[in-house]
Amino acid sequence: MSSETDETGPIDYLVVEFPGSRMTGEGLPLLVDLVDRGIIRILDLVFVRKDQDGTIAGVELSELTGGGHDELAVFEGVSSGLLGRDDIDEVSAVLEPGSSAGIVIYENVWAGPFAAALRRSGGRLVANGRIPVQEVLASLDAAEAGTGA
């Protein structure tokens, strides 16, 4: 196993829907910052739009960068091959008509050395997941209510 592969961090994906195709781009500088700081590495980044009649169309990064999001130009042509047409079709099927979505596949670079150390010591991942923010907030609210705070 090469050292680059050995140090690869976990790979995740996100799909973010924008109802009414209202993408403001507010989060884009933060995405660029995560990459610049070496926290994540973007492997695939695709934007799609679902018209009112259900037609799916890709949205080029240049269409987004033309709206003052020049920082996205660094992602132009980023494609690892992990995100296929079938994945885009699956995402598109759950989008509401008139919405857009961003699909991003990224490596958690920060976790690469940690994951490699665990693998070298014989560790293996047997489960992973994510706790929705809404559940965390509800749990914290319930704990606070129970303590009288």
> Over the stretch 63-105, which tens digit does the pLDDT of each residue have?
665 556 666 777 877 889 999 989 999 999 999 999 999 999 9
For residue 139, name the pLDDT band (cuts at 50, 70, 90). Answer: very high
Report how many helices (DSSP H) and strands (DSSP E) the chain contains, helices first.
Answer: 6, 4
Q: What are phi and psi of 104, to 5 degrees?
A: -130, 130
- Per-residue burial over 35-68, b if 16 or more Cβ lie within 10 Å, else e, is beeeebbbbbbbbbbbeeeeeeeebebeebbeee
Within a domain: residue 121?
Answer: no
**Would residue 125 be called left, alpha or beta, if left means φ above 0 and alpha means ψ between -120 and 50 degrees?**
beta
Q: Please tell me the distance from the alpha carbon of residue 86 to that of residue 133, in angstroms, as a whole number.
A: 28
Compute the mean pLDDT over every residue in the chain, rounded to the nearest whole number.
Answer: 85
- Nearest to 76, CA basis, from 92, 88, 60: 60
Within a domain: residue 44?
Answer: yes
User: Model-level pTM?
Assistant: 0.79
Within a domain: residue 31?
Answer: yes
Going by the DSSP 8-state scheme, the letter that residue 126 receives in this structure is -
Domain hosting residue 27, numbered range = 9-112
Within a domain: residue 82?
Answer: yes
Please state the domain count of the chain.
1
Within a domain: residue 127?
Answer: no
